[in-house]
Structures are given as C-alpha cells and as structure tokens.
Amino acid sequence: MDTKILADLLFPNVTKTPADLDAEFPPRSLPEGAIVSRMAPSPTGFVHLGNLVQGITSERMCHQSGGTLFLRVEDTDAKREVPGAVQVLIESLKHYSIHFDEGATIDGDAGNYGPYRQRQRAHLYHVYAKQLVLQGEAYPCFCTEEELSDIHAKQEAEKANYGYFGKWAVWRDRPLEDIKAALDAGKPWVLRYRSTGSIENKIKFTDLIKGNLELTENDIDHVLLKSDGIPTYHFAHAVDDHLMHTTHVVRGDEWLPTLPFHLQLFRALGFKPPKYLHIGPLMKMDGESKRKLSKRKDPELALTYYRAAGFPVQSVYEYLMTVLNSNFEDWRRANPDAPVDSFKFSYKKMNPAGSLFDAAKLRDVSKNVISRMDVDTVYAEVLDFAKDFDIDLYDHLTADESYAKSILAIGRGGKKPRKDFAVMADVKPYLDFFYDDWFTVTDAYPEGFAKEDIKAALQGFVATYDPADDSGVWFDKIKAVADGLGFASDMKAYKENPSAFKGSVADVSMFLRVAVTGRLNSPDMYSVMQILGRDRVFARINAMIETL
Ligand code: GLU
C-alpha cells in the first residue's frame, strides 16, 4: 500500500513534520545530570497518597539534581473527568509542597513546552500519528463496538488470548479501497499501532527501582488515537515525554505490563526512551495479609482525609519520606531541626515491592513533627484546621491569641518537647479545660482515697498558693501539704514502704489536677495554674471542695 496516500487521507491537515516539532521544542539547557520529570495525573477529582508518593519522588529527584519538574494534566479520558478536578489537583499538590517549575497552573500554562493539558495537544500527536502511518507502523481501524465484542467472544470460545492482534486484527492489512470506502461512508475510526512483536519473545529492561526485568513483548495492535482524534495514554506518553524532554518517568507499577508497548512506540517514533522508575503500590495490613490500599475501602488513600483529620502537611510529607527512604528516620533523629529538604533523597532506597502504609507510624511521625514546631507554627496549624473543621475551636483560639499561645507553648522547645498532638483534632480535648465554658470535671477521683483527705489537701493548697512562686517553691508547698496529711513527699521513701503512708505527693498533685483541669491527665500543673491565674484556680478548687 502507498502509505503516503493513506497518511494524507487520514491527516489531510497535518503539514508539520516531527523535525519541525523538534525545532519548536529544542532540548532544555540544563546542567549535566539534571533530571527532568513530571507529574502526569488524570483529573479524576480524586487525589491520593499514591499521587503524592510519585510527586515527592519526582520532585526530589528533579530539584536535588538542579533539574525541572513540570505538571502535565492527562485529560485524554473526557469520560472520567470531573468538573473542577484540575483545580483540586493543582491545589492539593501545592498544599503538599510539590513545587512545579512549569506546567499547568490555575491560571493556565506556564513554560515553553506546553500546552500542558493533553486535550490541547491533539495537533501535536497528529504529526506523529501521520508519521507512523507513513512508516507503515499505524493504520486505521473501523471496527464498531459490536464487532470488537464479537471478536472478544470468539476469542473466549477459542480460548485464545484477548486483544486486537494477528488474525483478529481485521483492519491491519485491508486494501486502501476498503479504507477509502469506510472513510467516504463517514465511519468513525481509531488509529492502531501495527505491532510486529510476539508473546514468544522477552525483552530485557532495567527499571531504576525494580532492577533488571524481563517482560513479554507486545503483540497487540493497541489504539494510538481514539475516534475523536485524542490519543490514548500510551501514545501521549511517548509524544509528550519526548517533546517535553523528560529524562525520568516516575509512575505506578500498574504501567509495567504496557511498558513493552511504550518501548515499541519510542523506537517506532525514533525517540530515545526516558529512564523509568516504577513505584510499587502502597499496601496495608488487613488481618494477617497485605493488600493494596483501595479507593473504595480505605478512606486514608485520599489526600482530603489527612487534612480533615488534622495532619499537618509536614507530617504527611515526613511520613512518606520514612516510607520511601529507609534511612530518613535515622537522619531525622540526628538532625531534628534541619529543613526536610536537606535530606538527601535517593530512589535507590525505595522498596521495589511497594511500601506498607502504617497509620500508627504516621501518627508517631506526626507527633514528632508537631513537637518540633514553634508555638506560632502550631497556632497557625490549629487555626488552619479549625477554620474548616471546628469553628468553635477557631473562635476560642482567636478570641485571645496570646492566651491560646501560652497554652500551646507548654512543654514546647528544649531537648524533650512534649508530644501531645498527632493531629490538630487532638488539640481541643487537650486544652478545652482552659476555657471556662468548656471546662467540666470528666474524671472522678480514683477509689481508695478518703474524701476528707482530698478536701484537706485542696484546702491546704489554697491556703498557701501564691502565683508568684517559682515551680520549685510551688512544689515544695504541695509536698508540705502532703506531709501534713500523712502522704509521703519523698517518692523514694514511699516506694520503699508504701503502707506507711496514705499515698504520696503524686496523689496530692492528682487531687489538684482533677479539681483544676477536670481530669487525671493534663499538661504540667504549674504552667496550667500560671495560665489560668489564681482566681480561676481557686474557683475550681473551691467548687470541687463543695462537692466533697
Ligand atoms: N495519567 C497517568 C496516571 O494517572 C500517568 C502515569 C504517568 O505518570 O505516566 O496514572
């Protein structure tokens, strides 16, 4: 067949050549070794942890090497697109500190290698589509949906492999007249790749995460352009990553089975393939066994989950770092205050089989991250959470900023900061007793203490408390109250012979704690009393005495 005639028939308006496009999108001028990569998500409205894992990996590789990261919106599947999804996508990635040097933005495209939304690139794909037809490596297929399902049914009956290939590829070798007739009749067509591969053959391939692989060659005549002229993922991937000069493709390993086809395309198009990093899935323990995180079953797969739960961005980020690079935790321990960017990320440390998502570990990491924040940062984080998810908390904390900050400052700083919060939703139950309208006594005194003793301890404290005392003097006074009531002030003496005492100074402190905070556990009582002030401390203690 004269492929020139066919190419002109199919793409009469395409006048540019691949060489023209190479001139339009010249190589980037970047230093030696600079990595160019991209995030190429589909705007489905669902941004998930896997996106973030991929984004962080690409981002670190690009920016650590002085390269470029761009955002390409893969919107070729119009059916799956949700209105507003591109905006959600861009905002979520920005929220999680994935900084792009170029690509799709809320206000359009930024950069010299666009457009960065695939549906706007149809004219570019068509140049290469025409080229493949010219080379005899692509052909139109006019099969209807019914004809395709018919083929599928026959394959099923014959126990043959599924797909459009070999004898099933009914348009592969049709004469030009048939094609012309179908075109004249206005039949819709797709463009298919003419594969010369065989499933008898294996290709060898080195993935930067998975290592050396052997994959079965592709023998399917996959679709390159759909009937609306929009490419499939595969074709767009080859064309875009060539024209945008991507050096490394980081993507989920669900793409590994189609990699042989992608490599065929790169070869057919005369492109140098990028290096690939196929990331294993995020998994979780389900009973005794591991399974992939699923959109349907696991709310924690969605990024929105973390914001609503009140995880600071930095917590999620650092948690994912611990998942991605096994040495991150040690590094963090050795460099507790270093900016996270100064960690040397390496894709070589990534687990080829995928990583286990561990919710308890995430909380742990988050506690550490939050404990290292200064009070202004925590305050800003709580407000950011509360303004959307707990307006009552927001109102309380903003009513008197310095009061709120003095609470949040308790136990902050120093070598061993307190680790009270894993999420911002932990803040309210931690500090609600500081606000009179929220204060209630939720915990009862444990059994085994005489009411008279509790009462006497509370009264003894009130008799000598002076807010001007430093914490040493303050505690000495509590010890004196303890001694006076037959509670040991010396913990060592108490432990040696507990039956000689009614209890210890720890119990006396607990009497005060329950009266003042309403519960058995609270932050440091000295600080609590300093912040509440004498009048409120006394009012609460006296109210408690009334009930005894
Ligand atoms: N649009 C593809 C996806 O969302 C991108 C894969 C890739 O990065 O090439 O899975």
Q: What is the pLDDT of residues 281-294, one digit of tens each?
A: 999 988 899 999 99
> What does the H/E/C string look like for 168-186?
HCCCCCCCHHHHHHHHHCC
In this structure, the residues whose C-beta lies within 6 A of any atom of ligand 1 are 40-42, 74, 233, 237, 249, 251-252
3-state secondary structure of 421: coil
CB 425 within 8 A of CB 392: no
Residue nearest to atom 4 of ligand 1 (CA): 41
Backbone angles phi, psi at 182, to 5 degrees: -65, -40
Question: pLDDT tens-digit profile of 371-417?
Answer: 999 999 999 999 999 999 999 999 999 999 999 999 999 999 888 89
Instruction: Indicate the top mutation candidate among 51, 52, 233 to test ligand 1's pocket, ranked by most ligand atoms within 8 A of CB.
Output: 233
> Which 8-state DSSP code applies to residue 336?
T
Looking at the predicted structure, is the pLDDT value of residue 151 above 80? yes
pLDDT value at position 256? Answer: 96
Q: Are 337 and 314 in contact (CB under 8 A)?
A: no
Q: Quote the crossing angle between the two packed helices 534-547 and 525-532, to the nearest 10°.
A: 110
Strand order of the β-sheet with 108-110 is: 36-39, 68-71, 102-105, 108-110
Output 375-382 pairs: Cβ under 8 A, ≥24 positions apart.
375/405, 375/408, 375/409, 375/412, 376/405, 378/408, 378/412, 378/421, 379/404, 379/405, 379/408, 381/312, 381/424, 382/408, 382/424, 382/427
Q: For the residues 418-422, what does the mean pLDDT come to?
A: 94
Contacts with 59 (C-beta within 8 Å, 6 or more apart), sequence order: 69, 98, 99
d(CA 541, CA 463): 12
Q: Per residue in 34-56, pLDDT tens? A: 999 999 988 888 888 999 999 99
Reduced to 3 states (helix: H, G, I; strand: E, B; else coil), residue 439 is: coil
Domains in the chain with CATH codes: 1-279 (3.40.50.620), 285-371 (1.10.1160.10), 375-434 (no CATH), 451-547 (1.10.10.350)
Return the SS3 of 426.
helix
Cα separation of 49 and 91, whole Å?
15
Q: How far is ligand 1, taken at its centre, from the CA of residue 237, in Å?
A: 8
Most ligand 1 atoms within 8 A of CB, residue of 42, 44, 235 to mutate:
42
Residue given tokens 């929105």 in the structure block: 304
Q: How far is the CA of 467 from the centre of ligand 1 (A)?
A: 62
* Length of the chain, in residues: 548
The pLDDT value recorded for residue 415 is 84
Q: Is the pLDDT of residue 81 over 80?
A: no
Residue 110 pairs in a beta bridge with 103
From the CA of 255, how far away is ligand 1's center (Å)? 8
| Contact (CB, 8 A) for 259 and 274 | no
**Atom in ligand 1 nearest the alpha carbon of residue 54:** 8
Handedness of CA 494, 500, 505, 510 (dihedral sign): positive
Average pLDDT, the chain: 95
- Is 1's pLDDT higher than 90? no
Q: What is the CA radius of gyration of the chain?
A: 33
pLDDT tens-digit readout, 238-293: 999 999 999 999 999 999 999 999 999 999 999 999 999 999 999 998 889 999 99
What is the DSSP secondary structure assignment for residue 437, as one 8-state letter?
A: T
Mean pLDDT of 157-170: 95
Q: Can you tell me the mean pLDDT for 506-519?
A: 97
Q: Where are the beta strands (DSSP E) in 9-158?
A: 36-39, 68-71, 102-105, 108-110, 138-141
Hey, what amino acid is at 394? Y
As given in the structure block, the two tokens for residue 211 are 């290592």
Q: Position of tokens 């059916």?
A: 79
Its pTM stands at 0.90
CB atoms within 10 A of CB 86: 20
**What's the CA gap between 354 and 357, in Å, rounded?**
10
Measured from the CA of 255, which atom of ligand 1 is nearest? 6
> Cα–Cα distance between 434 and 418 in angstroms, integer?
18
Q: Which residues, including other chains, have CB under 8 Å from residue 385's CB and lie 6 or more apart?
A: 307, 310, 424, 425
Quote the CA–CA distance of 459 and 451 in Å, as a whole number: 12
